[in-house]
Structure formats: C-alpha cells, structure tokens
Structure 1
Amino acid sequence: MPLLLTLNAGSSSIKFSLTPLPGAKGTPLPAPLAHGQVSGIGGAAARLSLRSSLHGKQEQALPTVASGRSGHEQALDAVLHWLEQHLPEEKVALVSHRVVHGGVHFAQPMRLDAQVLAQLDALAPLAPLHQPHNLAGIRSAMAAFGQALQVACFDTAFHRQHPFVADTFALPRRFYDEGVRRYGFHGLSYEYIARTLQAHWPALHQGRVIVAHLGNGASMCALRQGVSIDSSMGFTALDGLPMGTRCGQIDPGVLLYLLTEKGYSPEQLTELLYQQSGLKGLSGLSNDVRELLQSEQPQAGQALDYFVARCQREIGALSASLGGLDALVFTGGIGENAVPIRQRILQDLGWIGIDFDPAANATHGSSHAGAQPQGQISQPGSRVSVLVLPTDEERMLAEHALALWQAV
C-alpha cells in the first residue's frame, strides 16, 4: 500500500502524518494511519507523541541532544525511526514538506529537485528559525525514501496575490524588484481555515474575515472572499505580533542603534530578535503562555498585556484594510486553547461590533471535560461573528501533494 508522509517543521516542533494514497484519481484522502509530533525542541523535555490506528497512542521522551546536532535533526531521526520500526512493509511513495519561505517565484506547490533545493537554500536567511529545518527534513526524507516523489508546499504562497500597497515597503523601487517585499506567512493554516469557512460558514467566507493564527509563531491575515489581501507578517517571520521568542514589530531605528552604538554583530542581533525576545524576553521567564498565565510574577502579566494589546491593534489595522469586519477566527495553539487570552483580546473590541459570549468562550478549546474543539464564541446578535477553529496544516500538505501526485 503506497503511503503519503507529511512533514511540518515549526520553530519548536515537528508534526507529521501518514496517510494511504487513494487508488483512483479524484478519490478523497482517507483518514491518516498515524499522526503525531515532536514537541519541546530546543528545551530539556522534548517528547515524541503520536496516535496510530494500529498501535494506539504512544509517547516517549527523547534523549539529550548530542553535541553538534540540532534538535530538529534529532526529532526527525526519531520520527523516521518510528516509521521504520512500525511500518516496515509499507512503502512511502509521496512526501509533502512545509517550507516556510518561497520567495517571489514559488507561489504554488512544487516538485523538489536539486535546482529547487538550491533556490530554497538561498532563502534561508529570510527564515532562519524555519527554513534550515525545512530543508534538513527534505534531505533526510530524500535519503530515507529515495524513490518517493518529494513535494514542497510554501507558507508564503497563499499571500502572493496581495495588492501592491500590502506587498511593499517604502524603499527605493529597485529593492521591491529584487524581492524585498512583504510576503506573509502561516499560509497553509490560513488556507485551511478559508476552506473550512467555505464548507461550513459560506456566508462568512464571502465576507471580510480576520484569522488570528496565535501560537509560538503568531500572525494575522485579512481575508476577503477567502483570499488573503493583507497580513501582519512581512519580509520575514519577525514582523507583526510579538511571539514566543520573536520580537514582532519594532522600530528599525532600534536595530540601527544596537548595531552602531551597542556593538551588536549581525549574528548577535539575529539571536536577540529570533530567540531572546517576544514573550520570553519581556517576561524573563518563558515563551509558554500557559506558564505565564500561571505565574504571579509582574513581568509575566506585563508580557501578556503587551501580547493582547498588539493583537487588538492588529485587528483594528486589518479591519481598516478590509473596510470593515464580518468575522474574527482564532486558531493555532494559543488561539485554540488559551481561553483567558481570547477573553482579554475580545473584551475591549465592542467598538468594532464584537459582542462575545464569555460562557461560550470558556467551553471552546479549553482543557476541561466537555470542551468543544470549535464553534462560535460571540453572542447570537453580535454584528461580528467570532469563531474558534482548529487548523490542520498537515491536511493542506497532503491535499496539495496528492494533486501533484495525481497529475504526474
């Protein structure tokens, strides 16, 4: 039985799924045989957790990362080792990879070869937290499954039809022509949410929607009739909202000051902006919202206050881009699960037409028994609907790869 493997390497995790390939063209994908993730990469408690239709739910702690090897390489080794042990008779014929940055030229899923890999390598400085891990996963999968078709799906592709004013910086035009543009990210997540709205909330899909993908990486996207017209992220995945360890929007003059007056090297500045800032930097404690919510330290509260304020500000800005707002959708690890954060964001947005339901909010995505995974958390009469919808980037990876597979 030929199988489809998806690999989604994030900044602190690797998610994967394994699905039988349908025999006939046009046949929808069946449910995955197995899916799971390695979480906590870069920390002291990395774990592999998965659920398989044949082997049930399993978890295992990963050993200490060996000297000279990245946590992502170790995590990927753990995933491939599990596949070899538990599915030795099955053939992986198709592998779909999430690639964060596709630059100007990659606006649709692509079959991977040496030439494409070289072009993606050149984009690594634009996504240093992700692109090297994406490409390491591709090369490991090519070595492990030499006969499989390898497909890249790009997080930037969903945003490539932005209007010029949402796509550019006010720099000399030659930089835009060279590719210095606002690309936007989390496109696979936004595409999945757009399809979910089209299937289950078609009236909202046809309107003006902001999707808030809130997690260790966080951004927002403005959709009009399911099409991205603006995004909080820009040239790199640093811009916009503050994130777990990334700064979000910052005055470029601060960066010039750090370089010229504080003697930061480009390498030190990269480490500061990508690894030591955001919630982690503001709180001095953690990049994990769950830990910050439980902490009594004032810095934890201040970090969350800043995150909430920037989310509210971005909702206002993207509403202006859309010319109004019909729906706000929360997704991602924080957006789906952090009930107090959603409440704090929503409680001051009555001016925009949001009348949210605290009781409904408390029962969607929370960890207590009976909680619902998705649904509406605004009052029935609210002018702007508010939804909590789980995203599924792996499903988008699978569907895009299947389309290429069936076209070969």
Structure 2
Amino acid sequence: MKNILIINSGSSSLKFQLIQMPSEEVMASGMVERIGLDDSKLHYRVKDNAISEIIEATDHAVALKAITEHLMDSENGVIKNKDEIAAVGHRVVHGGDAFSETITINDKVKEKIKEFFSLAPLHNPPNLKGIEVAEKLFPNSEQVAVFDTAFHRTIPRKAAQYAIPNKFFEKDHIQLYGFHGTSHKYVSKKAIEELQNENSRIISIHLGNGCSITAVKDGKSLDHSLGFAPVNGLIMGTRSGDIDQSVIFYLIDELGYTSQEVSDLLHKNSGMLGLTGYSDLREIEREAASGNKRCQMALDMNAYRIKKYIGAYVAVMNGLDALIFTAGIGENSDVIRNLVCKDMDYFGIKLDEEKNKVRDKKLRAIEAEGSKVKILVIPTNEELEIAQQTFELIS
C-alpha cells in the first residue's frame, strides 16, 4: 500500500486528497481557500469527521504546511510522519506539446511548465507554485505531474491544426491542445467498463463552470471543443465559447476596446453570466422556471451548442455507442440533460425522463428503452485518476 497526496493548486486555493493505493481509499480530503487574505479557511475531512477553521495562510507554503499538520494530528490525523507519503501527484493544466503522459518532476519539467504560463495564465503559475512548495515540504516523496492536456495528445493533426499558415503550427506550436483531459479520461474509462467494449465510440460532456466535449474512440481522444486556450467551444459560466473572430476585431477597431478588455470580456463576463446576469446554473434554472425569458433563452442556447458538437462528433466517429454527462452541471442538472437529448431520435438518443430526474452520486444509465445510444451520468473523479496515474508511474 502507498499513500498518494493529490494537490490541485489554484491562484488562491489549494485542494487536496490523501488516497491509499491501490485500494483507492480516500484517507483525508479538503482544501484551503482565500490564500493570501486575512480570512483564509481550511476545510479538512477524515471519514465522517469534518473540520473548518480560519487560519493565517499568507501563501501556499503556509496552506500546505497547515494541511500536513492536520494529516499528522494525533486525534484526526491519518499518518504519523511525512515520509509515509510515497508521492505527491500534481494537477497541471497545460503541458503544451511537450507532455503526452504523466511524468516525474525535475528541473526540466518545471521549466517547461513555466514556458506555458502564457497559454494558461490562470492555472499554470499556481500549479508550479504548488509543486515548488511540495518539494520543500515533502523532500523524500516523489513529485509527479499529471497534465490536463495529455489525454488529448492523441488528437490527429487534421483536427488539431488551425487553417492558418503552417509556420504557426510547426514553429510556434499554435494548435488545439484541449483541457479537462483528466476528467474525460476517467469517465470514458468508466463508460468503456460499463459497455464492456474497448472499441467503442463515446462522447464525453464535461459541464461545470468550465465546459468541454470530447469525442473518444477506442479509449483515445479524437477531437475536443476547447483548443489553444480554455475559452472556445461550449457556452460556459463566464466564458463565451465559440465566437466569430470578426467580433473581436470589431470590438477593438470600432468600439474602442483594448485587447486585454476583450480578453476579460470573453473569459470573465460572457457565457451564462453575460446572457443572464447569473453564473450559477441553479439560479438560472430557477429564474427560467419563474418565467425569465433571458434565462430560458440562455439554457436553450447552451443545449443547442452542445447538440451541434454531438452531431459533429457522431460524424467524425461514424457512430455513437455512449453519451456521458459529467462534472457539477452534467451530473446534477436534469434540465440541461433533457434539453440536450430532446429531439435526437435520428442519432438513436432517447432519454428516460423519470430516470433523468433521479439524483445519485453513482454511475447511472438514463436512456429510455429502445435507445440505440447508452446515456450515462458518471461522477468525475479527477483526484482518483491522478492517484491512479501517479501510482502506476512510481510502482
């Protein structure tokens, strides 16, 4: 048995799970939020015992140290010393074209992660910070990087390259990279187990504040909605998704926006927030049910965009065996699932509305009798996927 500490380091938060492998037992989990502020808060859970407390987490080093002290606490701890942690698995969002698999971290790996700061400015800098802090705090534990982009390195060039001069692909590495790969890989593996068919055609729909959809054929990513950076594709909480490039030039050249203002607009003030004034889908659904036409239109637009991608991916895979809904919205919103699956009979997608309304944290099938396509709600578990990949690497 080996203890794997999973770290997901954000700009002002640090999420963690301590997972014993290969039993996959979650020994402890939690997070520190509002790092750098006066009212930083630590949440720690072990079995049925949950603790929340205000701490002075001036930076990520202090936050991780506080987590470690809880892990070794005489009353609520689960380990006696830091050396009981065999490895620390780090989620890193952007690995560019340098990393196609999980890797042991060294100075060269850290330099590459730094090179991709400009491609994922909200994610890669705090990801690297988490690595550097963990190296100092756990000097005897192996440090491992698991990249969100790695699962999508199997996407063929004809799908990954943009129709701009070749030099931008060959010299500047401008291409589709894809994101949420750890989640898509985890749920597609679960779907393959459910189908009992490794040679299956699956569409995985990850719907949260960030959203993406992936065509998975024979267990490998074939195409994906997010591209060079995580802003295009589906309509998201605050991100626009697909937009005509001419709109960007018009905003700058005719309406006087700066490029940074346009970037902020498309990343932080668009999507469901821009359409409705709300970024939380639960509020949008409540407003729509109460007659708010803008909210209902936003839901319709959201589902319409997903349906377009389903149609495209059915075409490139020449068929479909299973449709997966995952992540916060995908797992919990029967409204979105219903809108997406409505009038999809031509593709053999038929939803059972009663099954769709059932709430459960386990994998469940919600297709109607006679549906040619399996419709699955699969709770994602990126931390477990990172633990599995880390354990496989160090074993």
TM-score normalised over the length of structure 2: 0.88
Amino acid of the structure 2 residue aligned with 1:344: L
Correspondence for 1:58: 50
Which of 76, 82, 100 lines up with 2:67 in the alignment? Answer: 82
Which of 309, 316, 324 lines up with 2:311 in the alignment? Answer: 316
8 A Cα contact 1:49 1:57, kept in partner = no
* Larger mean Cα displacement after TM superposition, 330-339 or 303-312: 303-312
Q: Tell me how large the CA RMSD over aligned residues is.
A: 2.8
Show CA shifts across 1:19-77 (max 9, x none). 245xxxxxx2441211234679999x996544313xx33153667x99xx7xxx56x85
Show CA shifts across 1:61-116 (max 9, x none). 667x99xx7xxx56x85454133134253323311111111111111112212222
Correspondence for 1:291: 283
Correspondence for 2:384: 395
1:254 aligns with 2:247: yes
Correspondence for 1:277: 270
Identity %: 38
Which of 345, 354, 368 lines up with 1:379 in the alignment? Answer: 368
* Larger mean Cα displacement after TM superposition, 192-201 or 169-178: 192-201
Amino acid of the structure 2 residue aligned with 1:183: Y
How far the C-alpha of 1:238 sits from its partner, in A, is 0.9
Correspondence for 1:192: 186
- Superposition pairs for residues 362-373 of structure 1, below 5 Å? 362-363=357-358, 366=359, 371=360, 373=362
Q: Report the count of equivalent residues.
A: 383
Specify the SS of the correspondent of 2:3.
strand
> How far apart in 2 are the matches of 1:81 and 1:225?
43
Correspondence for 1:356: 351
Correspondence for 1:24: none
TM-score normalised over the length of structure 1: 0.85
Question: CA, structure 1 residues 247+120, in 2 after alignment: closer, same or farther (shift >3 Å)?
Answer: same
Amino acid of the structure 2 residue aligned with 1:8: N
How far the C-alpha of 1:322 sits from its partner, in A, is 1.1
The runs of 5 or more residues in structure 1 that have no matched partner are: 22-27
Show CA shifts across 1:365-402 (max 9, x none). x3xxxx45221100131011111111111111111111
Correspondence for 2:25: 31
How far the C-alpha of 1:168 sits from its partner, in A, is 0.7
> How far apart in 1 are the matches of 2:11 and 2:179?
13
Question: CA, structure 1 residues 218+95, in 2 after alignment: closer, same or farther (shift >3 Å)?
Answer: same
Amino acid of the structure 1 residue aligned with 2:103: M
> How far apart in 2 are the matches of 1:209 and 1:231?
12
Correspondence for 1:6: 6
Show CA shifts across 1:273-329 (max 9, x none). 221111112212x21111211224433323222211111111111111111212101
Specify the SS of the correspondent of 2:231.
coil
The runs of 5 or more residues in structure 2 that have no matched partner are: 74-79
> How far apart in 2 are the matches of 1:254 and 1:119?
33
Specify the SS of the correspondent of 1:103.
coil
> How far apart in 2 are the matches of 1:276 and 1:336?
25
> How far apart in 2 are the matches of 1:359 and 1:9?
39
- Superposition pairs for residues 133-152 of structure 1, below 5 Å? 133-152=126-145
Question: CA, structure 1 residues 339+170, in 2 after alignment: closer, same or farther (shift >3 Å)?
Answer: same
Correspondence for 2:18: 18
Question: CA, structure 1 residues 12+306, in 2 after alignment: closer, same or farther (shift >3 Å)?
Answer: farther
8 A Cα contact 2:350 2:371, kept in partner = yes
Question: CA, structure 1 residues 152+372, in 2 after alignment: closer, same or farther (shift >3 Å)?
Answer: closer
How far the C-alpha of 1:190 sits from its partner, in A, is 1.4
